[in-house]
């Protein structure tokens, strides 16, 4: 379970996250939606202890993530592609993470198989395509077999087969009883993958509901419901009428 209470983060004059509270429960895929710059990545970074909040707190399994003795056995996250040393091979990157978290080496081969990177495991990770880098990041998130998983834009850079694979992986992880929290800009993808949605705008909570309930607000069209919900908070929306 992920619990955020009054999370707040400022960058200079920008209030990136504004007293945000929500709970992400196990056994479901919870989508995290919001316009560009609404604070999704910042929120995920604070949950994972990578950014310190200016106010409020985030807990994973009841305590701050920084207090975990073996962090990757509590929660795994894909927060940015290429979060690895480019000169290391995929396999050596995963072995280092396993060693640091007292995870058996055999788990490295398991996760390489799960993400389909076996044949590229001995190549330097700096030579990986974006999609391969995403797969390595997902393998890293899974290495400690954690109950809680966060994925920031996991389908970024993946081909259609990869997108389908992510959808099935998210569903499977949730069916295993894990807490799965994922952001994506692809609303159609969210509609197919997520059970629940947390929608934010300008750092604030706009909705915490099911996909079905939010879609029903716009006659079954999740995209229309999302636009209606976020209309007042989107900073970077291009003109769709008139304009140019
Ligand atoms: N390191 C930083 N320094 C200054 N401002 C930042 C920093 N990180 C984020 N911000 C600002 O905080 C706000 C929230 O950014 P964040 O990346 O969390 O949004 P997001 O919802 O993940 O956006 P996107 O959908 O575009 O990925 C934005 O206004 C952004 O410019």
Q: Ligand 1 centroid vs 197 CA: distance in angstroms?
A: 20
Gap from CA of 58 to ligand 1 centroid (Å): 18
Please state, in angstroms and rounded to a whole number, the distance separating the CA atoms of residues 39 and 63: 22
Distance CA 87, CA 108 (A): 18
Position 239 scores a pLDDT of 58
pLDDT digits (tens, 9 = 90+) for 190-242: 999 999 999 999 999 999 999 999 999 999 999 999 999 999 887 766 655 54
What is the third-level CATH fold of 1-61+147-154+175-235?
Rossmann fold (3.40.50)
Residue 168 has a CB neighbour count (10 Å cut-off) of 11
ipTM of the complex as predicted: 0.96
Domain ranges of the chain: 1-61+147-154+175-235
Average pLDDT across the chain, whole number: 93
pLDDT of residue 242: 44
Neighbours of 62 (CB within 10 A): 7
Three-class SS state of 193: helix
Per-residue pLDDT at 127 exceeds 80: yes
pLDDT in tens, 55-75: 999 999 999 999 999 999 999
Ligand 1 atom index nearest CA of 203: 14
| CA of 42 relative to ligand 1 center, distance in Å | 6
Q: Is the pLDDT of residue 182 over 80?
A: yes
Q: Model confidence at 244, in pLDDT bands (50, 70, 90)?
A: very low
Confidence of residue 81 (pLDDT cuts 50, 70, 90): confident
């Amino acid at each position: 379970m992920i619990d955020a209470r009054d999370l707040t983060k400022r960058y200079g004059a920008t209030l990136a996250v504004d007293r945000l509270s929500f709970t992400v429960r196990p056994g479901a895929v919870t989508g995290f939606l919001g316009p560009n710059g609404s604070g999704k990545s910042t929120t995920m970074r604070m949950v994972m202890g990578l950014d310190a909040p200016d106010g409020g707190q985030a807990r994973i399994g009841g305590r701050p993530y920084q207090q975990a003795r073996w962090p990757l056995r509590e929660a795994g996250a894909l927060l940015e592609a290429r979060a690895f040393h480019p000169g290391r091979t995929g396999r050596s990157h995963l072995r280092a993470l396993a060693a640091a978290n007292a995870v058996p080496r055999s788990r490295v081969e398991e996760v390489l198989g799960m993400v389909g990177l076996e044949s590229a495991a001995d190549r330097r990770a700096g030579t990986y395509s974006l999609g391969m880098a995403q797969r390595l990041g997902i393998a890293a998130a899974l290495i400690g077999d954690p109950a809680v998983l966060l994925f920031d834009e996991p389908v970024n850079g993946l081909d259609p087969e990869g997108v389908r694979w992510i959808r099935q992986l998210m569903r499977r992880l949730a069916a295993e009883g894990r807490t799965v929290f994922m952001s994506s800009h692809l609303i159609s993808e969210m509609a197919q993958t997520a059970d629940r949605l947390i929608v934010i705008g300008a750092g604030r909570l706009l909705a915490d509901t099911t996909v079905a309930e939010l879609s029903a607000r716009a006659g079954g069209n999740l995209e229309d419901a999302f636009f209606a919900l976020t209309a007042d908070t989107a900073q970077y929306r291009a003109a769709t009428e008139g304009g140019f």
